[in-house]
Amino acid sequence: MTARTSHIMLVLAAFLAGLVIFLGVFLFATGQFRGSGQSYSAIGGPFKLIDQDGKPVTDQDLKGGPALVFFGYTHCPDICPTTLYEISEVLHALGADADRVHALYITVDPERDTPAVMKDYLSSFDPHLRGATGDTQSIESVEKAYRVIAQKVPTGNGDYSMDHTALVYLMDKQGRFVAPFSLKRRPAESAADLRKYM
Ligand SMILES: [Cu+2]
């Protein structure tokens, strides 16, 4: 091996080592090394918002019983009303046990969804449903905690819609994330599933 080729080999080796370190740090930082079980438990966390009556609502309010947490916005044309209707059916199927379940609808559109707007909107659904709004920063922070993606999509005339994660999060009575909650089954089945976490 000539001095020149050994120099090239050395540079190449240093480059590869650097690449490996870089990838390791990158994967670690983006959480790719964690198993899905662990990233599940990383969903949720502290938040401080305002409900549709202007009262504070925090992560502590989700404790003591199973909770369904859903993100959306009142101008939503289809997904939100459908989901809230389905959650209402489950709450209805629970009968008196609905008092032992928390159902929280957190807005991703705090600009338009004031407590008054949320209150008016939620009056069409089961009264156990509680709405949550807040300033932009608090909403961004709770979205981050729940890994929710929400994005403004202009629709012309200065109007906009919001693309958003439409997962219903089932939290246990300690406020820990269990799994996405399926509403694609009979309300009685969903209700029976919820009862397991009471
Ligand atoms: Cu929606």
The model's pLDDT over 38-90, given as tens digits with 9 standing for 90+, comes to: 456 689 999 999 999 999 999 999 999 999 999 999 999 999 999 999 999 99
Q: Of 104, 169, 115, 108, give the one whose Cα is nearest residue 143.
A: 108
Alpha carbon dihedral 118, 123, 128, 134, in 10-degree steps, equals 10
pLDDT for residue 35: 43
Residue 139 has pLDDT above 70, yes or no: yes
The mean pLDDT of the chain is: 87
Distance 18 CA to ligand 1 centre (A): 45
pLDDT for residue 42: 86
pTM of the model: 0.80
Asked whether 69 and 171 are in contact (CB, 8 A), the reply is yes
pLDDT for residue 143: 98
pLDDT for residue 7: 53
Distance 117 CA to ligand 1 centre (A): 15
Burial class of residue 13, CB neighbours in 10 A (0-12, 13-18, 19+): exposed
For 157-174, the three-class secondary structure string (H helix, E strand, C coil) is CCEEEEEECCCEEEECCC
Q: Of 192, 146, 150, give the one whose Cα is nearest residue 169.
A: 146
Residue 1 has pLDDT above 60, yes or no: no
Mean pLDDT of 108-133: 98
Distance 83 CA to ligand 1 centre (A): 8
Name the band, by pLDDT with cuts 50, 70 and 90, for residue 6: low
Distance 60 CA to ligand 1 centre (A): 25
The model's pLDDT over 140-178, given as tens digits with 9 standing for 90+, comes to: 999 999 999 999 999 998 999 999 999 999 999 999 999
Distance 148 CA to ligand 1 centre (A): 12
